[in-house]
Structure 1
Amino acid sequence: MADAFRLQSILDLSITRMDEAAKALAALMASEKDQTQKLQMLEQYRAEYQGQFMAAARTGLTPNQWSNYRAFLARIDDAIVHQQRQVDHSRDRAQAGQREWLDTRTRVKAFETLSDRHQVTVQRKQAKAEQRVADDRSGRQVNQD
């Protein structure tokens, strides 16, 4: 077709990239959610273990038990700090993925707008051509009468 949209292949490629960016964003968001849930579990576990420690401290602990509880709480705290970094990193990646998806969506919308304008132009040309043909026919019929 002579009036084909010349940028159709770029539009198709942009749509494919937008779909890929959407899938990547979904995976990044799922990862962020997973990392956040792990952090919440660690924080909940720490709170429970802290409660056990406090209850045991009320009944009396040997210095060795006291040291063990404190050391384990310190390890849990380290794990929480590490997991918080993981959450932050995952959140940053999800935000970058969202920006990438928005950029590709913006490009697609721009190409779709160009495609829509092209289609309108093609339809106007076709309508003019059809009108000329109809005018020619009606002109011949008037001349024949």
Structure 2
Amino acid sequence: MQHRTPLQVLQELAHERVDEATRKLGELIASEHAGEVKLQMLQKYRQEYRDRFLQAARGGIDPGGWANYSAFLVKLDEAISAQQVVLEHSRHATARGQREWASEHTRAKAFDTLTERQHRQEQHRLNKREQAQSDEHAIKAYTRGLQENS
């Protein structure tokens, strides 16, 4: 089992947080898109219903029909207004999710940089140790050679 340094543990946790922020952001974007689709559908339906109302009015409509069309258009306008509020909240949530993702991503990159720096430093120490051992071995071989030749 490989020993993990505290920095590596923090790096892994940071990447898990990025993954979680990515998942949440995906959900927020999907929710915002669904809200946009619903708003467009309501607006399209309102336009179609208004067109039917105007067509019926041109052909002559009784006061009860007029009241029903008018009341339903008011209900559609209320639904559209409510959906616009929901969509605006969703857009704010998505923007907040994007900022959170960016923050987590930046934090993870910082841990990646620190981990890479630590790895390079450890490699440098290892290289120096190997060079010192190689130098020591070469010196011993050289001195043995000198002693054998004397």
- TM-score category of the 2 structures, normalised to the smaller one: over 0.9
Counterpart in the other structure of 1:21: 21
Residue 121 of structure 2 is matched in structure 1 by 121
Q: Matches of 1:67 and 1:5 in 2, distance apart?
A: 74
Aligned to 2:69: 69
SS of 1:7's partner is: helix
In the other structure, the counterpart of 1:108 is 108
Partner of 1:130: 130
Structure number with greater Rg is 2
Q: Deviations over 1:81-137 (max 9, x none)?
A: 001111111111111111111111111111111111101100100000111111111
TM-score, normalised relative to structure 1: 0.94
Q: What residue is the counterpart of 1:78 in the other structure?
A: 78
Q: What amino acid sits opposite 1:13 in the alignment? A: L
Aligned to 1:51: 51
Counterpart AA for 1:101: W
The aligned residue for residue 8 of structure 1 is 8
TM-score of the two chains, using structure 2 as the length reference: 0.91
Q: How far apart in 1 are the matches of 2:4 and 2:78?
A: 62
Q: How many residues of Structure 1 are paired with residues of Structure 2 in the alignment?
A: 143
Number of the residue aligned with 2:148: none
Contact 1:5 1:115 (8 Å CA) reproduced: no
Letter of the 2:131 counterpart: Q
Task: Indicate the percent of aligned positions where both proteins have the same amino acid.
Answer: 41
For structure 1, the 5+ residue unaligned runs are none
Relative to structure 1, the CA distance from residue 34 to residue 128 in structure 2 (aligned partners, 3 Å threshold; closer, same or farther) is same
User: Which consecutive segments of 4 or more residues in structure 1 shift more than 3 A?
Assistant: 3-6
Stretches of structure 2 that go unaligned for 5 or more consecutive residues are 146-150
- RMSD (Å) for aligned C-alpha atoms: 1.3
